[in-house]
A and B are shown apart, each in its own frame.
Chain A
Amino acid sequence: MTATVPATAALALGDDALVLSHRLGQWAGHAPVLEEEVALANIALDLLGQARVLLSIAGDEDELAYLREERAFRNLQLVEQPNGDFAHTIARQLYFSVYQHLLYGRLAEGGGPFAPLAAKAVKEVAYHRDHAEQWTLRLGDGTDVSHERMQRACTALWRYTGEMFQPVPGLDADWAALETAWLERVGDVLRRATLTVPEGPRSGAWTAGAGRQGLHTEPFGRMLAEMQHLHRSHPGASW
């Protein structure tokens, strides 16, 4: 069935955007400078906009966001990782925005069902990637403290990056080529930021397509509990 193929893919990409947007929304009122309050909220809003379009392709956006259980979400484990400190948030942004930029670039060129959406989103993501790269440079090549924190964050999140290149049914992309391009871009930024490219596994039995299969990390359930609580407390209500 051709109709269900884009729905699966729309769910995967939509959940990525929804979940990361939620995490970034948690920064409101906590950012290190006012300019970052604006920037992080801006990125969160862009992602939420993408999520709404993608989830609407797959079904009803609110039903999908608020009434699915944890096991039915298809987002990457990377995007559900808690914010941690600012370096952690930036490392997560760097890894994801480089991936999203490459993927949406391909989808925009590919002319498939996601091309119009990807063509619009890739412009937003170019800005997100620039923001993450600039901060990676500042933190990595800033003070000793910031260097150490940024290195720790990059290393801690490294294990979640392999999952991004598990093929998503319905998305026409050369995943191996995407991964090569991703490693090159991220590696280049990290080196310019005087950081060491983390070593260690980026995928394995425990992570093979895990989030995409609905297998998530523990903090995710708690995040959903908070996100869905009010909506679930008033079944059938409109807001």
Chain B
Amino acid sequence: MATAAAAQGAARDTDRDTTARQGAFDAAVAADERIEPRDWMPDAYRATLVRQIAQHAHSEIIGMQPEANWISRAPSLRRKAILMAKVQDEAGHGLYLYSAAETLGVSRDELLDKLHSGRQKYSSIFNYPTLTWADVGAIGWLVDGAAITNQVPLCRCSYGPYARAMVRICKEESFHQRQGYELLLALSRGTPEQHAMAQDAVDRWWWPSLMMFGPPDDASQHSAQSMAWKIKRHSNDELRQRFVDICVPQAESLGLTLPDPDLKWNEERGHYDFGPIDWTEFWEVLKGNGPCNEQRLDRRRRAHDEGAWVREAAAAYAAKHSETGATRA
């Protein structure tokens, strides 16, 4: 039994340990070293990463839905193969990301449960419907393009498992992005109906894609801390500007226009100026009031619930047969 004095001593040791660990952590982050799963890390750093990686994983699996909506109607076998491969990659990205999150001491089941009960979010972009085939191209070009702009800096994120997952994901994403662009190009150069379909899709996906970078810097609650921890490397507005600057010439070579009358080159800034984003729409979609929020979550829950008996069967089978294995060993 510890005496009061010993207990006080232990508390002081713990404080001293924590201070030393915090110091080592800060030094590692400052030196651009990677934090690994067994390293000490501040609780808030761990919690932020769990939230961010889980949301990222959820976005991959919810993001399968708007595109899977067109697998059965893809207009050529080549396009169908590309789309199926893409949706499969997204499931794979979800798997990498849940694994990365699990290194922080949470389980995939726990995270899925939070997604299904609405306690964790996914990217607001996937709450928009895919109304025509051209939407598949617009998602590839704009949505994946915005995702890549956001994610490439994450390859240098301070948390090792997340950074390594992002290296693999970014390679595949940039492939999808080029395919989306090429899909739109084929439509833009196709029949007048196909061109109109492409233009309509870009008109509908442009603003939601800009919203993918998150709220403006002065309204972004997690940004400062994430930048200090080197989870995040650039501000929302910085990345958004970078994305606009990349897209404008691409739209020109596609032969399509972007739905923003205020969009113009600013010689002085060396950037494109662009019009105001409808933040009311952004917050409404984020709150669950977008066009497909309910449908997306409902579909996900249904797949999970209807698959319960399959997971139970796999577990029961594994249990039966691992007993045999244990007896043999």
Which B residues, 16 to 33, have Cβ-Cβ distances below 8 Å to chain A?
Answer: none
Question: Would A61 and B64 count as touching, CB distance under 8 A?
Answer: no
Q: From the candidates B84, B303, B308, name the one contacting A31 in the complex (CB within 8 A).
A: B303
Interface centre among B92, B95, B302, B313 (most CB of A within 10 A): B313
User: Whole-angstrom distance between the alpha carbons of A65 and B72 in the complex?
Assistant: 12
Binary interface profile of B, 54-93, with partner A (CB < 8 Å = 1, else 0)?
0000000100110010011111111111001101100110
Contacts of B302 in A (CB 8 A): 30
B106 interface hit (Cβ, 8 Å): no
Question: Would A37 and B88 count as touching, CB distance under 8 A?
Answer: yes
B193 interface hit (Cβ, 8 Å): yes
For A, the interface residue count at a CB cutoff of 8 angstroms equals 49
- How many pairs, one residue from A and one from B, have CB atoms within 8 Å of each other in the complex? 143
Which B residues, 82 to 111, have Cβ-Cβ distances below 8 Å to chain A?
Answer: 84-85, 87-88, 91-92, 94-95, 98
B118 interface hit (Cβ, 8 Å): no
User: Whole-angstrom distance between the alpha carbons of A149 and B310 in the complex?
Assistant: 10
Contacts of A226 in B (CB 8 A): 72-73
A139 interface hit (Cβ, 8 Å): yes
User: Whole-angstrom distance between the alpha carbons of A55 and B77 in the complex?
Assistant: 11
Interface stretch of the complex, out of B3-11, B150-158, B267-275, B314-322: B314-322
Question: Would A62 and B77 count as touching, CB distance under 8 A?
Answer: yes
Question: Would A34 and B80 count as touching, CB distance under 8 A?
Answer: no
Contacts of A230 in B (CB 8 A): 73-75, 133
Q: From the candidates A29, A48, A85, name the one contacting B64 in the complex (CB within 8 A).
A: A29
Given A31-B303, A237-B194, A25 contacting B71 (CB threshold 8 A): yes
A3: min CB distance to chain B, Å: 23
Interface stretch of the complex, out of A39-47, A73-81, A97-105, A179-187: A39-47
Contacts of A45 in B (CB 8 A): 81, 84-85, 88
Question: Would B317 and A234 count as touching, CB distance under 8 A?
Answer: no
Q: From the candidates B68, B76, B88, B312, name the one contacting A239 in the complex (CB within 8 A).
A: B76
Question: Would A31 and B81 count as touching, CB distance under 8 A?
Answer: no
A1 interface hit (Cβ, 8 Å): no
B307 interface hit (Cβ, 8 Å): yes
B168 interface hit (Cβ, 8 Å): no
A176 interface hit (Cβ, 8 Å): no
User: Whole-angstrom distance between the alpha carbons of A81 and B25 in the complex?
Assistant: 58
With A49-B81, A141-B320, A146-B309 known, 20 other A-B pairs at CB within 8 A are A29-B65, A29-B299, A32-B308, A34-B91, A34-B98, A35-B95, A36-B310, A37-B64, A45-B88, A62-B77, A66-B76, A85-B306, A149-B309, A230-B74, A230-B75, A231-B76, A234-B75, A234-B193, A237-B190, A238-B190
Q: List 5 A-B contacts (CB under 8 A).
A: A30-B299, A48-B84, A55-B77, A142-B316, A146-B310
Closest 10 CB pairs of A and B: A32-B307, A142-B313, A146-B313, A41-B88, A37-B91, A28-B68, A32-B310, A138-B317, A239-B76, A29-B68
